[in-house]
A and B are shown apart, each in its own frame.
Chain A
Amino acid sequence: MRRLVRLATALALASAVPAAAETVAFTGARIVTAGPAGTLDPGVLVVRDGKIVSVGKGAPPAGARVIDASGAVITPGLFATGSLLGAVEISALGDDLSVDNPQIGAAFDIRDGLDPASTLIPVARTGGLTSAVVLPQPAGGGYDYHEGEGDVAAERMTAGGGQGPRPNTLFAGQGAVIRLDGSDDMVVRGGIGEVVAFGNTGARAAGGARGAQIAALKSVFTDVRAYAANRSAWERGSYRELGLSRADLEALVPVVQGRTPLIARVHKEADIRAVLKLAREEKLKVILEGAEEGWMAAADIARAGVPVILYPYADRPESFEVLGSTLENAARLQAAGVTVALTAPEGAAHRARETRYAAGTAVAWGLPWDAALAAVTLNPARMFGVGDRTGSLEPGKDADLVVWSGDPFEPLTTARAVYIRGQAQSLTTRQTELRDRYLDLGTPLPPAYKHR
Chain B
Amino acid sequence: MLRSGVLAVGLAALALSACATTKGPTPKAEAKAAAAKPLPAGLDPGVRPDAFPSTYRPLPSAAFAIVGARALTGTGQALDNATVLVRDGRIEAVGEGLTVPAGVTTVDARGKWVTPGLIDTHSHLGVYASPAVAAHSDGNEMTSPTTPQVWAEHSVWPQDPGFNTARIGGVTTVLILPGSGNLIGGRGVTLRNVPSRTVQGMKFPGAPYTLKMACGENPKRVYGSRGRAPSTRMGNVAGYRAAWIEAADYVRKWDDYRAKVGRGEKADPPRRDLGLDTLAGVLRGEILVENHCYRADEMAIMIDIAKEFGYRITAFHHAVEAYKIADLLAANDICVATWAGWWGAKLEMYDSVEANVALIHAAKGCGIIKSDDPDLTQRLNQEAAVALAAGRAAGLQISEAEAIRWITANPAKALGVLDQTGTLEPGKRADIVIWDHDPFSVYARTEKVFIDGALTWDRRDPRYQPRSDFDLGQPGEGVR
Which residues from chain A sit less than 8 Å from chain B, CB to CB? 89-93, 120, 146-155, 157-159, 161-163, 269, 293, 296, 313-320, 323-328, 345-346, 349-351, 353-354, 357, 360-361, 363-365, 409-414, 431-432, 434-436, 438-439, 441, 447
Contact = CB atoms under 8 A, between A and B. Distances in A.
Nearest to A369: B443
**Looking at B162, B359, B480, which has the most chain A CB atoms within 10 Å of its CB?**
B480
27 contacts: A90-B349, A90-B350, A93-B346, A150-B372, A152-B218, A155-B179, A155-B180, A158-B181, A159-B142, A162-B134, A293-B476, A315-B375, A319-B132, A323-B131, A323-B474, A324-B479, A326-B479, A327-B480, A346-B345, A349-B344, A350-B345, A409-B443, A411-B382, A411-B442, A412-B389, A439-B395, A441-B326
B130 interface: yes
B457 to A, nearest CB: 14
Contacts of B479: 324, 326, 328
Nearest to B379: A361
Contacts of A411: 382, 385-386, 388-389, 440-442
Contacts of A313: 375, 378-379
B353 A431 contact: yes
B341 interface: yes
Nearest to B374: A316
Closest 9 CB pairs of A and B: A360-B442, A148-B345, A324-B476, A411-B385, A162-B134, A92-B346, A324-B475, A350-B344, A151-B180
Contacts of B406: none
Nearest to B363: A441
A414 to B, nearest CB: 6
A157 B139 CA distance: 10
B444 interface: yes
B395 to A, nearest CB: 8
B179 A435 contact: no
Interface in B306-329: 318, 323-327
A296 B479 CA distance: 12
Nearest to A441: B327
**Looking at A93, A162, A414, which has the most chain B CB atoms within 10 Å of its CB?**
A162
- What is the interface of chain B mostly: helix, strand, loop, or mixed? loop
Interface of B: 124, 128, 130-134, 137, 139-140, 142, 161-162, 165, 179-181, 214, 217-218, 222, 292, 318, 323-327, 341-347, 349-355, 359, 363, 372-375, 378-379, 382, 385-386, 388-389, 392-395, 440-445, 470-471, 474-476, 479-480
**Looking at A293, A365, A441, which has the most chain B CB atoms within 10 Å of its CB?**
A441
Contacts of B131: 317-320, 323
B161 A149 contact: no
A444 to B, nearest CB: 15
Contact of A90 (B324, B344, B355): B344
B388 A412 contact: yes
B31 to A, nearest CB: 50
A319 B130 CA distance: 7
A347 to B, nearest CB: 11
A233 to B, nearest CB: 48
A155 B388 contact: no
Contacts of B323: 435, 438
Given A149-B372, A155-B181, A320-B131, A93 B345 contact: no
Contacts of A161: 134
A149 B372 CA distance: 7
Contacts of B128: 150, 154, 157
A357 B382 contact: yes
Contact of B345 (A149, A158, A365, A441): A149
Given A293-B475, A363-B443, A162 B137 contact: yes
Contacts of A155: 140, 142, 179-181, 218, 222
B393 A325 contact: no
A34 to B, nearest CB: 19
Contacts of B389: 411-414
Given A317-B474, A324-B474, A357-B386, A148 B442 contact: no
A351 B342 contact: yes
B375 A151 contact: no
A317 B470 contact: yes
Contacts of A436: 394
Contacts of B326: 438, 441
Contacts of A93: 346-347
**Looking at B341, B349, B382, B442, which has the most chain A CB atoms within 10 Å of its CB?**
B442
Contacts of A315: 165, 375, 378, 480
A122 B324 CA distance: 22
A14 B66 CA distance: 51
Contacts of A432: 353
B476 A323 contact: yes
Given A154-B124, A158-B142, A351 B161 contact: no
B222 A92 contact: no
Contact of A92 (B161, B347, B375, B480): B347
B162 to A, nearest CB: 6
A398 to B, nearest CB: 27
A162 B131 CA distance: 11
A154 B128 CA distance: 7
Contacts of B343: 350, 431
A151 B292 contact: yes
Contacts of A162: 132-134, 137
**Looking at B180, B344, B479, which has the most chain A CB atoms within 10 Å of its CB?**
B344
B140 A438 contact: no
A317 B346 CA distance: 27
Contacts of A346: 345
A341 B444 CA distance: 22
Nearest to B177: A151
**Looking at A147, A155, A319, A325, which has the most chain B CB atoms within 10 Å of its CB?**
A155
**Looking at B292, B341, B345, B441, which has the most chain A CB atoms within 10 Å of its CB?**
B345
A439 B390 CA distance: 13
A158 B128 CA distance: 10
A364 B475 contact: no
A151 B181 contact: yes
Nearest to A435: B353
A405 to B, nearest CB: 10
Contacts of A89: 344
B355 A435 contact: yes
Contacts of B346: 90-93, 148-149, 152
Given A149-B349, A360-B442, A154 B139 contact: yes
Contacts of B372: 149-151
A328 B476 CA distance: 12
A435 B394 contact: yes
Contact of B476 (A326, A364, A413, A434): A326
Given A150-B128, A360-B442, A431 B352 contact: yes
Contacts of B344: 89-91, 120, 349-350
Contacts of A350: 342-345
A354 B342 CA distance: 10
Given A146-B375, A296-B475, A436-B394, 11 more contacts: A148-B346, A159-B222, A162-B137, A313-B375, A315-B165, A316-B480, A317-B161, A319-B132, A350-B344, A411-B442, A438-B326
